[in-house]
Structure 1
């Protein structure tokens, strides 16, 4: 891959972290005529230091839960770190962050979130 192609690939990923390898390959084909397979795209991104990470999935908050949660938040907004250490956090969500088309992956450099 040429230096120009690598710059185009890096710029594409920088603009949108959530593109799948397939869509990045199609974009490079359209914009600069580079014929690449999704596997090559992944290999080149790994060589540049990018790695695919599962995107953080956030559950939806209903209006009812938002109404009930606001008084609780206001009552606890002045808590210290020491008080928060005694809270037992539980996650009882049952959902999957993986999809077969890979659209929920973020391409990030080490140290990025």
Structure 2
């Protein structure tokens, strides 16, 4: 049985953005040669989100939102 605190779908809807406090550690883990899968597991966020953050950081040099 899953609780709301462990179910990603309940905590983070598609329209919500990841906070700055989670985007920084994603890049930190990436720089320490952690895999996307490992980062996803460590920070409890979807792999697609981790991948998107890393891709944006590589292309733009920032993880900031566009707002």
Structure that is richer in helix per residue: 2
- Taking structure 2 as the reference length, the TM-score comes to 0.44
- Taking structure 1 as the reference length, the TM-score comes to 0.30
Structure that is richer in strand per residue: 1
Question: Which is greater in Rg?
Answer: 1
